[in-house]
Amino acid sequence: MQSVILASWLWASSGVVPEPLILVEDGRVVEIGSRALRETPKPAQVLDYSGHLLAPAFVDVHLHGCAGHDVMEGSATAFHSISRFLAQKGTGSFLATTVTAPLDATLKSLAAMAALLRSTGEWPGARPCGIHLEGPFLSHAKRGVHPPENLLEPSIETFDRLFDAAEGLVRLMTLAPELPGAEDLARHATQRGVRISIGHSNATAQETERLLSAGAASATHTFNAMRALDHREPGIAGVVLGETSLFAELICDGIHVDPRMVRLWWRLKGAERGILVTDAMAATGMPDGEYLLGGMRVQLANGRATAQGVLAGSVLTLDRALKNMIAFTGASVEELLPLLTRNPATMIGIESHCGNVCAGQRADMVVLDVDGRLIASLAAGVPVLRGEQAAGHATARR
């Protein structure tokens, strides 16, 4: 099927296109033109978002679950519910993120997740585009809620078992730099195509720098589960903020990081290296109650997900992260869009098939108003309904 998408502006990695006319065929963008210069092809369905900004759907490299499900369930039901929910919130692609669990349980989960990711069927909404291993190679001192009995010292052999169980679909791994063997593992994993994200760590600045030399590409939820910044021992946080080549995640829900620290992070990581993530868990989009994060029981009350009093992931969605960033920093929607699209896709090396609107990519897009509010979301060129609100904004005609 052919359709045409119109808006007042398009933000893509290549720049802003005023009055765009985007031709979509079989769920993929085939052409981006200008409304003024090109006739709308006659048989096409037209989705008219005049007055609004069109942008690539968001990419979340740190997501454990939502809509009552955790990715480690590894079932089609769980993944389809997650896929549908995320698309309603503007996310087009995500890395299914594990938490530390007993090794056998993790291997089983990874095998099930890999089978689902390899299946050829279309996703109802957001696409899982790989796996993020958060654990087991994390620091005891900064483990957060990751169970201490399941944390392991870095081992190439254990990593290979995890990588092979996941059929090579691991794209990102969180690793604490100070652990013995971390550098060798970082080099080995990087060679196998896995990006290293430093985090859950009590590392000194020097220990952190050694892992950067071994190829670390990003940092996991900056400030959370990290040794605090100190003027004599900058620690991991000091290196993450100061090292211009390093990407860095942030959970911008107003709970995990104080808005003043969000502003500091934004000034230092900026539009080139900042990555907004959710760290969302099963309770996201659900009422208060008890939910699972991997194998752990987590309580959701008043927007906070905790396990025995410690923050246990979030219930954030990326559309809200964008709104919070605008409120906390005063930056514009266009300035912030790379943090949810181009940067995460580039960091994990999949920028050729997600995080942009260009010919050849799946037509996953968001429609935003000037204040950054999510008006509608398109998965493979099809509007994902969010109740009446979205329907009222798109003028669809045949």
Amino acid occupying residue 196: I
Q: Which helix (H) or strand (E) holds 305?
A: strand 304-307
Q: Is 183 in the site for Zn ion (CB under 5 A)?
A: no
> 189, 179, 88: which is closest to 132 by C-alpha?
189
Options 279, 319, 351, 364; binder of Zn ion; rule CB under 5 A:
279
Residues 117-146 that bind Zn ion (CB under 5 A): 134
Using Cβ positions, the residue closest to Zn ion within the complex turns out to be 279
Taking contact as CB under 5 A, which single stretch among the options 9-17, 52-60, 222-230, 278-286 is the one that binds Zn ion? 278-286
Q: What angle do CA 140, 146, 151 make, to 5 degrees?
A: 55
Q: Parallel, antiparallel, or unpaired: how do β-strands 365-368 and 374-379 relate?
A: antiparallel
Taking contact as CB under 5 A, which single stretch among the options 49-57, 246-254, 279-287, 345-353 is the one that binds Zn ion? 279-287
Give least dist CB 247 to Zn ion, A. Answer: 16
Give least dist CB 200 to Zn ion, A. Answer: 9
Half-sphere exposure of 69 (CA within 13 A, CB side): 18
Nearer to Zn ion by Cβ, of 73 and 279: the residue is: 279
Nearer to Zn ion by Cβ, of 208 and 220: the residue is: 220
Amino acid occupying residue 50: S
Nearer to Zn ion by Cβ, of 202 and 278: the residue is: 278
Question: What number of chain residues touch Zn ion (CB under 5 A)?
Answer: 2
Give least dist CB 279 to Zn ion, A. Answer: 4
Residue 375 Rama label (left phi>0; alpha psi -120 to 50; beta): alpha
Q: Running DSSP on this structure, what letter comes out for residue 293?
A: E
Amino acid occupying residue 342: R
Nearer to Zn ion by Cβ, of 214 and 312: the residue is: 312
Taking contact as CB under 5 A, which single stretch among the options 7-15, 72-80, 122-130, 276-284 is the one that binds Zn ion? 276-284
Nearer to Zn ion by Cβ, of 60 and 279: the residue is: 279
Give least dist CB 214 to Zn ion, A. Answer: 22
Give least dist CB 95 to Zn ion, A. Answer: 11
Task: Tell me whether residue 395 is exposed, middle or buried, using C-beta atoms within 10 angstroms of its C-beta: 0 to 12, 13 to 18, 19 or more.
Answer: exposed
Nearer to Zn ion by Cβ, of 178 and 279: the residue is: 279
Task: Tell me whether residue 107 is exposed, middle or buried, using C-beta atoms within 10 angstroms of its C-beta: 0 to 12, 13 to 18, 19 or more.
Answer: middle
| Catalytic site positions | 279
> 69, 28, 20, 91: which is closest to 382 by C-alpha?
28
Taking contact as CB under 5 A, which single stretch among the options 31-39, 101-109, 271-279, 323-331 is the one that binds Zn ion? 271-279
Contacts of 258 (CB under 8 A, 6+ apart): none
Give least dist CB 97 to Zn ion, A. Answer: 6
Q: What SS3 state is found at 384?
A: strand
| Residues that bind Zn ion in the complex, under the rule CB under 5 A | 134, 279
